[in-house]
Chains A and B, each alone.
Chain A
Amino acid sequence: MSEVRYSQEHEWVKLDGDTATIGITHYAQEQLGDVVFVELPEIGKKVEKGKELAMVESVKAASEVYAPVSGEVIEVNSTLTETPATVNEDALGKGWFAKLKVADKGQFATLMDEAAYNKFVEGLH
């Protein structure tokens, strides 16, 4: 079974073998408000953990989506270009941003599990 982990920057990562699917959390989409534009990376781009992977813009402002793990972009969710509101409707599912081929699975283990992330979000209030 694939496992989901979370970053302090409010991204989620689901790991299947060496493929990491990345999106933003429900809390993140709530904070952003209505998403009106998403800029996705190019296929083949190599991103490092903590560096910009994508951009998400709400009516209010633009925010970076950081790569929670390093890897190479192998697929992007191009439906977000046409219907960016999918990020609000289903942040943890259909609203995923990109899939990476992960080099170092050890980075995944350092991220928060669901319980730890929920506690982290609670602490922000």
Chain B
Amino acid sequence: MGASENTENLKRTPLYDLHLEMGGKMVPFAGYEMPVQYPMGILTEHQHTRSGAGLFDVSHMGQIKLRGESYAQVAAALERLCPADFLGLAPGQQRYSFFINNAGGILDDLMVTRAGNGDDKDHLLMVVNAACKEQDLSHLQANLNNRCEVEPMFDRGLLALQGPRAAAAMQKIAPESVNMKFMTGRPLNVGGTECFVTRSGYTGEDGFEISVAHDQLDNVARKLLGDMEVKPIGLGARDSLRLEAGLCLYGNDITETTTPVEASLVWAMQKRRREQGGFPGAGIVQRQLAEGPSRKRVGILPEGRAPARAHTEIANEHGEVIGEITSGGFGPTVGGPVAMGYVRADLAAIGTSVQLMVRGKALPAKVAGMPFVPHRYHR
């Protein structure tokens, strides 16, 4: 403990000064200096997001726009790289998806929104992971440049306002947000600034993600923090919140070596795409859909108090290794340890007894359903 981290060559979001002002403890994350927590501490920040409203700076994430001569052209282009149905998106509708490789592995996961009014000017707005954004941009440019325009919007920041009090806080400075439903997006004036807002997030709670030009980000963040209910939340609580919500972290729970079928993300590949294919790795994905995968991502609930972290081996009752934890820790709302990981498909049923090999000891655990904390989206 105590060794100071090397912060050379790290990027900063436009909210860097605000984070310091609020006592944020800055750590290196995906090439950025980001707040892991504020003086409230991870546990309290987590609980505040579940009971009030939390504001997260997620400006390190990448935003990319795809546009073309018609919406159909743009949607068809992205369908070449992702197994989701974008042609079927209604104007303003948002969808979770992933870039997939020829082996059916996941290159990155992303949120995609059809922005526009239902005419040829409609385009797609994507939010991708910070650590993957340059690679995603190259991937899009290399594969789609002759089909649509790929426009990086790395001069925009992103705020996430999450929690049961998020809607009330948002309504005060963006009254029209009240009409938005979960997984929709629209341009919206937020406290005098033109933003693009979606009703979505990464905590399992109701909330919004607000895309703002860099030069207005500090202004919008301070307006939201002016509400007594809204507290700044760091990356530490972001991770425990998403884990309790059963949501995947790219690089841990999904990687280039996991397919969407193995990752239990079949729901994010709509029927037409599953049946027709037409995306990289479609043959492998369709074979796994027909025959069943050899392993599956499941929830894991340790029966004792000890958290099981990522890379903990999972064994069956005879001590034979059957998988590995990919995310795990303490769930403050659950009040105990929670985890997710991959297990052999024949041992993936909810309630199956397993053992977690933590520091040389076999700790009892059970395969569990996810989310660990019920989602409370505004549908």
Contacts and interface: CB of A to CB of B under 8 A. Distances in A.
B240 interface: yes
Contact of B2 (A10, A39, A57, A62): A10
Interface string B227-264: 00000000011001000000000000000000000000
Contact of A31 (B2, B236, B305, B307): B2
Contacts of B42: 33-34, 58-60
Contacts of A31: 1-2
A9 interface: yes
7 contacts: A33-B236, A37-B337, A57-B306, A59-B329, A59-B330, A60-B42, A121-B2
A31 B236 CA distance: 13
Interface in A34-82: 34, 36-37, 39, 55, 57-63, 81
B4 interface: yes
Interface residues of B, number: 22
A58 B4 CA distance: 19
Secondary structure dominating the interface of B: mixed
B1 A59 contact: no
Contact of B37 (A27, A33, A39, A63): A33
A3 B304 CA distance: 37
Nearest to A28: B1
B306 A37 contact: yes
A72 to B, nearest CB: 21
A37 B36 CA distance: 20
Nearest to A84: B305
A27 B1 CA distance: 10
B305 A34 contact: no
A115 interface: no
Which 4 residue pairs spanning A and B have beta carbons closest together? A34-B43, A36-B330, A59-B42, A124-B2
Given A37-B330, A57-B307, A62-B307, 17 more contacts: A9-B1, A28-B1, A31-B2, A33-B41, A36-B330, A59-B43, A59-B46, A59-B236, A59-B237, A59-B240, A60-B236, A61-B309, A81-B305, A121-B2, A124-B2, A124-B4, A125-B4
